[in-house]
Amino acid sequence: MADHRGENIQTLLGDALRDTTDLARKELALFKAEMAQNVRNLAMGLAMFVAAAVFAIICISLLTQSLVEWLATKVNSDALASLIVAVIMGAVAGGLILYGRSKMSASTLTPDRTIRNVQRDTAVLSERVSA
């Protein structure tokens, strides 16, 4: 009967080792997938900064002068027209920068799902070993 218990313990330990290895492999795959998504979000944030810069340059070089001239005829002041156009262009560029920055925050790079899964799996394995 003692032999039978030894075999059960060996079987249980073997199963636990296989399960732990399989779990570690799955957690690593989840980590890789989550980090890939986080890198894509980082790239999107960088793309938004580039888009903001391109948009600002294009707007300044191609549209500003014609918009200022048109608005000057409506408000009867070149200076006021220039100020209005500058505020609008600055608001658009600022909005793009804020959106890009939100995509690049450090918290978006943290693999939250992987951390939660590892913590949950550790608790389950602890319960399983102590049982």
Contact 117, 27 (CB under 8 A): yes
pLDDT in tens, the chain (131 residues): 445 666 788 888 788 888 888 888 988 898 888 889 889 999 999 999 999 999 888 877 887 889 889 999 999 999 999 999 889 989 989 998 998 888 777 666 677 788 888 888 888 777 776 76
- Whether the Cβ atoms of residue 9 and residue 89 lie closer than 8 Å to each other: no
| CA 85 to centroid of chain Cα atoms | 33
- Listed by start position, the domains of the chain span 2-130
User: Strand, helix or coil at 1?
Assistant: coil
Q: For position 4, what pLDDT does the model report?
A: 61
